[in-house]
Every structure is written in structure tokens, then in C-alpha cells.
Amino acid sequence: MSGMEIERKFLVRGDDFKRRAHKSYRIKQGYISSGNGRTVRVRIRDNQGFLTIKGPSLDGGLSRYEFEHEISLEEAEQLFRICEPGVIDKTRYLVSSGNHTFEVDEFYGDNEGLVIAEVELSSPDEPYEKPDFIGDEVTGDHRYYNSHLRRNPYKDWK
């Protein structure tokens, strides 16, 4: 997959999203490179590997170029050896709302207690239905980017 990724990001209230989820899976991800708004990420989702390259956002964090390619689990495990320090560990829950699916990430480890939801859109002004567990919008707030959480984990924010 490649192209422009347009998404909005929100904090999540409560844990009702778990009951409403139609699917969930564990994700471990590391960063081969991150800086200047660009990232090269390796991810293991259940038993699948992925390599993702993201470009900088030019509109306050709402959209950015994304290239993602599935790789073997063995390749992903090998690439973790060259990642920058810090790993993101989370469970992703998929929750339908209207015509969209919200991806809700519950973080573990140094980011325990943080829960963020994202919804992908086809255009910046596309309407969507917010589920009741959606809290404050944090689109464009770099603190909530996974690449930032790797370096500045949620546990250190307090």
C-alpha cells in the first residue's frame, strides 16, 4: 500500500471500545529511523511483518505520505536488531462507527495507561461518526506519535 494517509487521532475515554471491537491483535513496532517528520518502521502484527515508510506532514499532522509493504516474520525480527532504542507494544482494537472503522490502540510497557483512537479518511473534510468513547482530538500533537512515544514514553509525562 502506498499513497496519502489522512487520519484524525483522539484520546479515548473508558474501555467500552473493547466490548464494541469486532477484531483485535497485538502489535510490536520499532523504528529503524525517525526524524524530521519521516519514519522507517518495522512492525510485527500477530505473526505478520511489515515495513512502513512515512513522510512528513504538511498540514498539521492530518495527512502524510505512507508506503507499507508486507515482509516475512523472519525479516521483521531481523530488522528489529537495527532499530533505534525503544519498542512500542500495544493491542489494536477495530471498532466500526457508521461507515468508518476506528483503530483503538491500548499501549503497554512504558506507555501503559495511554489509549488512542485513529480514523482514516479519504479527504480532510470527510464526515464521520464519533463513537461515545472518543475524547479530545490530538491530531498533529507530536507527543502522541508512536515514534515520539518510543523516545518520550507516557510514563514520563507526569
- Report the catalytic residues: 31
28 forms beta bridges with 44, 89
Q: Cα angle vertex 13, ends 7, 18, to 5°?
A: 85
Residue 107 burial (CB count, 10 A): 21
Which letter, b or e, does each residue of 20-45 get, where b requires 16 or more Cβ atoms within 10 Å of its Cβ?
A: bbeeeeebbbbbeebeeeebbbbbbb
DSSP-assigned letter for residue 131: P
Among candidate residues 9, 18, 23, the one with its CA nearest the CA of residue 134: 9
